[in-house]
Amino acid sequence: MPQVVLVNPQIPPNTGNIARTCAATATELHLVGPLGFEISDRYLKRAGLDYWPYVKLHYHESLEAFKAIHQERGGRCLGFSVKGSFNYVQFQFQNDDWLLFGSETTGLSPAILSACDATLHIPMAQPQVRSLNLSVSVAVSLFEARRQLGCLL
């Protein structure tokens, strides 16, 4: 199943909401530090409600630490960005994909995006809207990947 990777997330409630989505879908969640908050943050815990025992959570202190795990397990890294090359709906997902999302303020760095196997975007009808909320972007993308792979609940 695809896995969700948050690189340097900054806003605890977004990460908590994403953790909740991952718990509901039995999706592994990887947090890549440095984080903009402590794992024990009360807003993070509140957003995740009492679902934390069901989250398959992995914390990597650095991008290098995450890369070692990714290399060990294999699969494609798919970077999500407003400047991504592929519309996420038209992209063909695979079971071993890693869905990478950057921080709420800066997104994924150009270096991370260039190292990805592909970059995807979520199209928006209003050009004045820069981006969607991180937790919404993760949910939309994860459910599309699961839909394509026949893994709907």
- Binding site for S-adenosyl-L-methionine, by residue number, is 102, 122, 131
Q: Which of 120, 118, 108, 116 is nearest to 8 (CA)?
A: 108
Predicted pLDDT at 133: 92
Confidence of residue 153 (pLDDT cuts 50, 70, 90): low
- Compute the mean pLDDT over every residue in the chain, rounded to the nearest whole number: 91
For 26: left if phi > 0, alpha if psi spans -120 to 50, otherwise beta; the answer is: left
What confidence score (pLDDT) does residue 70 get?
96
Give the residue numbers of the binding site: 102, 122, 131
Cα 103 to Cα 13, 14, 63, distances in angstroms: 13, 10, 13
Q: What is the CA radius of gyration of the chain?
A: 14
pLDDT at residue 68 above 90? yes
Give the separation between CA 20 and CA 46, rounded to whole angstroms.
Answer: 10
Q: What pLDDT was estimated at residue 107? A: 95
Confidence of residue 89 (pLDDT cuts 50, 70, 90): very high
pLDDT beyond 90 at 52: no
How sure is the predictor about 43, in pLDDT bands with cuts at 50, 70 and 90?
low
pLDDT value for 50: 73
Check if CATH label 3.40.1280.10 holds for domain 3-148: yes
- Segments making up each domain of the chain, as ranges: 3-148
Q: 0.85 exceeded by the pTM? A: yes
